[in-house]
Amino acid sequence: MTGSPRYAYRPIVDHPKFRWPGGAGVAVWVITNVEHYPFGHPGIPVNERSAAADPDVLNHSWRDYGPRVGMWRLFDCLGELGVPVSATLNSEVCDEYPQLVEEGCRRGWEWIGHGTNNSVRLSGLTEDEEHELVHTALDRIASATGQRPMGWLGPGLVESHRTPDILRAAGIEYLCDWVADDLPFPLAAEGGELLCLPYSIELNDTELLLRQHLTGEQYRQRLVDQFEQLCRDADAHGIGRVMAIPLHPFLAGQAHRMRYLHDALNHIASSNASWMASGTDIVEQYRALGAM
């Protein structure tokens, strides 16, 4: 038995052969994290020493640069390239930063449930509290965007033991927390299954830019290297792959990094080996191919 009772072991080389639309070897999806960090609550820090302060002005205001400035650079960059976008959305953003939601809707972004804010994690809640949080988040996103999310990413990729069951009952079809594969795979839940869609810690800008301290040029190269290896994998085995590119506006949206992100995405999107898609596009195509 695998380390998780919710999914079975499947070596990727045993997957049925398939290609993505247009014969592409790699489905690429770009995920912008559209988040709210309440003042006085914990969040991703750029300066660990300041995180112990009360109030933690440095880290809070650094994160707040994202919705105020960085996200607008990402709108311009991704719009110029014509890249489909799937945005993980804290539901409190709908009230705190409504212009972001309005602009994302105008641009046809897909919205993925991402909790109420990014300081509350599901693992610390009672079952009733978690059920209420999930439904509150999904209902608020649906009312603000006209689009009820099909996907979910937990704040911090954190779940409780019952999260997949609660999400399945709430109508969620795909989940991004389980980063175990380069292809979608089924996750057992009460009442049926969820499909795990590849997200990425290895390519997440919080890991590469904040923790590994990559330069802009190194970040660009890391994205390109990942894409090109996945292309080789797909060609060698005749089995398509999925590449996720998660972005946070207070990191990837900084001015000194934009040219490198733009160059990497342009390289990937202009390749005949890529199929640029939303999360829902990938899930629907994967199921239609009967590739599972």
**What is the predicted pLDDT for the residue at 290?**
83
Q: pLDDT band for position 53 (50/70/90)?
A: confident
Longest dimension (CA), the chain: 55
Measured CA to CA, the distance from residue 100 to residue 148 in angstroms comes to: 17
Q: pLDDT band for position 3 (50/70/90)?
A: low
Report the share of the chain in percent with pLDDT over 90.
92
CATH superfamily for domain 26-289: Glycoside hydrolase/deacetylase (3.20.20.370)
Mean pLDDT of 247-257: 98
**What is the predicted pLDDT for the residue at 73?**
98
Q: Which of 24, 17, 25 is nearest to 290 (CA)?
A: 17
Close Cβ partners of 50 (under 8 Å, ≥ 6 residues apart): 56, 57, 58, 59
**Interval 32-51: pLDDT, tens:** 999 999 999 989 999 888 88
Give SS3 for 280.
helix
Domain range list for the chain: 26-289
**Interval 68-105: pLDDT, tens:** 999 999 999 999 999 999 999 999 999 999 999 999 99
**What is the predicted pLDDT for the residue at 267?**
98
**What is the predicted pLDDT for the residue at 48?**
87
Measured CA to CA, the distance from residue 115 to residue 12 in angstroms comes to: 31
Q: Write 203-208 long-range contacts (CB < 8 A, 24+).
A: 203/243, 203/244, 203/245, 203/246, 204/246, 205/246, 205/247, 205/248, 205/251, 205/252, 206/44, 206/246, 206/248, 206/251
Mean pLDDT, the chain, rounded, equals 96
* CA distances for 261 relative to 99, 107, 223, angstroms: 24, 19, 9
At what angle are helices 258-269 and 71-81 packed, to 10 degrees? Answer: 30
**What is the predicted pLDDT for the residue at 261?**
98
More confident residue, 185 or 124: 185
Mean pLDDT of 161-182: 98
**Interval 267-292: pLDDT, tens:** 999 999 999 999 999 999 999 988 66
Q: What's the chain's Rg over C-alpha atoms?
A: 18
pLDDT at 5 over 90: no
Mean pLDDT of 171-198: 97
Q: pLDDT band for position 1 (50/70/90)?
A: very low
Measured CA to CA, the distance from residue 68 to residue 292 in angstroms comes to: 41
**What is the predicted pLDDT for the residue at 292?**
67
